[in-house]
């Protein structure tokens, strides 16, 4: 997420456009992916992602790792990512 405010503004505004039950899938890079791309400004771990989403007034339905939760993969493989399914509180 280069600019996460756009996503969370979307989550906050959905009820105004008649979509109160929609969910948003957000994926962020793992450690290696974050280090590989200068466009990545902030690293989000599991706890960080949940904290930022909660602060936006949304809830986290589920957080999962792709392809699977593995610290070695996160530090080695650039395409490893952390994903979360979020919705309106």
Mind listing the pLDDT tens digit for each residue in 57-89? 777 788 899 888 888 888 888 888 999 888 776
Closest CA to 69 of 82, 85, 78: 82
Please tell me the pTM assigned to this model: 0.69
Overall average pLDDT of the 45-67 stretch: 84
Rounded-to-integer distance, Cα 2 and Cα 9, Å:
14
The CB density around residue 88, as the number of other CB atoms within 10 Å, is 18
């Amino acid at each position: 997420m280069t600019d996460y405010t756009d996503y969370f503004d979307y989550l906050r505004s959905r009820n105004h456009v008649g979509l109160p039950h929609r969910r948003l899938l957000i994926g962020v890079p793992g450690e290696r992916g974050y280090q590989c791309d200068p466009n990545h400004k902030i690293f989000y771990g599991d706890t960080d992602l949940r904290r930022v989403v909660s602060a936006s007034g949304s809830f986290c339905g589920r957080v999962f790792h792709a392809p699977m939760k593995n610290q070695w993969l996160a530090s080695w493989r650039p395409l490893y990512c952390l994903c979360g399914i979020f919705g309106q509180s």
